[in-house]
Structure 1
Amino acid sequence: MFKLNSLDDNELVQRFIKGDQESLETLILRHKNRVFSYILLIVKNQELAEDIFQETFIKVIRSLKRGKYIENGKFVSWVLRISHNLIIDHFRKLKLKGTVSNDSTEVDIFNSQRYSEATVEDQMVNDQILSEVKDLIKELPEDQQQVIYMRHYMGLSFKEIADQTGVSINTALGRMRYALINLRKLIEKKKLTLTMI
């Protein structure tokens, strides 16, 4: 009996595109733990992670059917990028609604000495700086954006980043180094002052 498990990701993708549904099931089973762990690590909420996981594979199926996947031996990285973009979209929508969930964090973000002592002006300046930094990050190449988000917004170690993105630790460190160099250049070019006065 022919075993789909013996095929690599690209062979399974090609079979699915030709109409073999089982090939897709094999792909999902093969990568579900890694993709789900990645989502849960960021959103820190089981239910939300499950929703985004389902949304990710719905998007994967649609993209495959439309021929939007280009084989480069990195199927799982492509899926992780789709899930990452869906997570960003989710948080963007939350930000637009002006809501922040305090249920999913271990630390009470509203009961912090840092916030209680800050004046309204300090908070406005801090918010402006954070907003400008996020805008600058968006101008970086995608792999550099990813390493900054994973390191500074998700608190992952470079080993975890390397594991999640399928690269070596040295590559992850190199991307961070270039990201910081490029951020400095952008700050100088735009003549920004990103410090509290």
Structure 2
Amino acid sequence: MEENNLIKKCQRGDKEAFQKLISQYHPIVHKFLVKITNHEQTAEDLTQETFLKIIRNIEKFDIEGKAKFSTYVITIAKNAYIDYLRREKRAMQNTPIPENLNIEDVHIQVEETVVNKLYGQSILENLEGLSEEQKIAIKLKYIEGLTLKEIGDQLNLETKTVKSRIHNGIVRLRKQLEKGDER
């Protein structure tokens, strides 16, 4: 009930209430984003982006609705991460190939890739080939150690949907790894 009063104050533009809300949820959002991005600076940037979106759209949250505020916050964080990945993908597609590309540089990059795989990086790399839904569910389950119910609560999904995403992601990951072993 206290949280609902805080949210109502935020919806009326109370800056002090916003500070309390941000202080309360910042650690949760940041930890969630660190786990799914696996990168501290990216997580911090996305945490800030998440809270900017929450501040701009706080009036849209329905206190009387079914969703908990924590679910609302994590959903915004997850969507910020997905938007970030889309921006990164577009940036990579628009990166021109350097005219002075040295074949020696390419050989060094290939050698580094092989070495990284030998040191167990192939699983993390292959995670990137999964859908965002599968990747997030797998990271929350196996890196953060959440239960299927906890993941479902955070992502606002049914437990069976989470289980299916994890299962399908692991099956796909195994196939990718088997292909890598054949080479």
Match of 2:43 in 1: 49
* Cα deviation code 1:85-127 (max 9, x no counterpart): 111111111122228xxxxxxxx756426xxxxxxxxxxxx9x
Structure 2 matches for 1:4-43, cutoff 5 A?
7-8=2-3, 10-43=4-37
Structure 2 matches for 1:61-80, cutoff 5 A?
61-64=55-58, 67-71=59-63, 72=66, 74-80=68-74
Compute the TM-score of the two structures, normalised by the length of structure 1. Answer: 0.55
The unaligned stretches of length 5 or more in structure 1 are 1-5, 100-107, 114-125, 138-144, 184-195
Q: Distance in 2 between matches of 1:82 and 1:20?
A: 21
Higher relative contact order (CA 8 A, sep 6+): 2
Residue 159 in 1 paired to residue 146 in 2?
A: yes
Q: Distance in 1 between matches of 2:139 and 2:150?
A: 17
* Cα deviation code 1:122-174 (max 9, x no counterpart): xxxx9xxx5xx74xx8xxxxxxx4xx33333564466355445547xxx63x2
Structure 2 matches for 1:1-197, cutoff 5 A?
7-8=2-3, 10-64=4-58, 67-71=59-63, 72=66, 74-98=68-92, 111=115, 112=117, 134=131, 145=133, 148-152=134-138, 155-156=142-143, 159-160=146-147, 162-163=149-150, 166=153, 172=159, 174-177=160-163
Question: Root-mean-square deviation (CA), in Å?
Answer: 3.6
Q: Percent of aligned pairs with the same residue? A: 22
Q: Distance in 2 between matches of 1:157 and 1:53?
A: 17
Q: Which has the higher helix share?
A: 2
Q: How far is 1:18 from its partner? A: 1.6
Q: Distance in 2 between matches of 1:97 and 1:110?
A: 25
Q: Count residues with an aligned counterpart.
A: 139
The unaligned stretches of length 5 or more in structure 2 are 94-111, 119-125, 169-178
Residue 95 to residue 32, structure 1, CA distance change in 2 (3 Å): same
Compute the TM-score of the two structures, normalised by the length of structure 2. Answer: 0.59
* Cα deviation code 1:39-66 (max 9, x no counterpart): 11111222211111111000001011xx
